[in-house]
Amino acid sequence: MSTGGTHGIETLVAPAINLALLSGLLFWKLKIPVKNGVKARYETIRRDLFDVKNELDNAKKKYEEYSGKLNAIDAELLHLKAQSKESAQAASQSLIQEANRQSESVVSHSKNLSDSLVDELKQSLRDQFVKQVIKSSEEKLIKNLTGDDRQRIRKNFTSLVGGVR
């Protein structure tokens, strides 16, 4: 068994030496490229962090700017809303006043027109009444006049006409 134990170590010595030589060779050959790669990666990360920090600062500035603008817009909207409400109320009052003036004018015109129509109706009724009275009087006179009355009226008319000439 002792040959088996020595044989196991001897078989491990050559690969261990190979491994050490390969590791040393790799370390020696790859030391500068790995160092340059890590340094380049470090610089890239540093630049990216710097760019991200600048972008973050710019984003914060824009956020503050837009927040201020939004606050100004909110204030402007409130102002416009109040101004629109006042304008609408003023327009409403103006319309109401104009409607009142128009209605007063219409009422006044209607009253004048109705008074005029009532006066015309009264005059027309008077004229018809007078005509009816005259007609009725004529009919009664014609009906109630006797021959002697007619002769007497003719003589009076003739003497009046003769005296005028």
CA pair distance 131, 54, nearest whole angstrom: 111
Report pLDDT for 137.
85
Q: How confident is the model at residue 165 (pLDDT cuts 50, 70, 90)?
A: low
**Would you state the pLDDT for residue 58?**
95
pLDDT category, 10, cuts 50, 70, 90? confident
DSSP state of 18: H
Instruction: Report the predicted TM-score, pTM, of the whole model to 2 decimal places.
Output: 0.40
The Cα–Cα gap between 49 and 52 comes to 5
pLDDT in tens, 55-111: 999 999 999 999 988 889 988 999 999 999 999 999 999 999 999 999 999 999 999
> Token pair 């050559």 is at which residue?
14
Owner of token pair 């007078």:
130
- pLDDT band with cut points at 50, 70 and 90 for residue 7: low
What's the rounded Cα separation, in Å, for the pair 141 and 150?
10
The more confidently predicted of residues 156 and 53 is 53
pLDDT classification of 6: cutoffs 50, 70, 90: low
Q: How confident is the model at residue 50 (pLDDT cuts 50, 70, 90)?
A: very high
Q: What is the DSSP string of 48-74?
A: HHHHHHHHHHHHHHHHHHHHHHHHHHH
Q: What angle (nearest 5°) sits at the alpha carbon of residue 82, between those of residues 79 and 87? A: 120
Res. 156 pLDDT band, cuts 50 70 90: confident
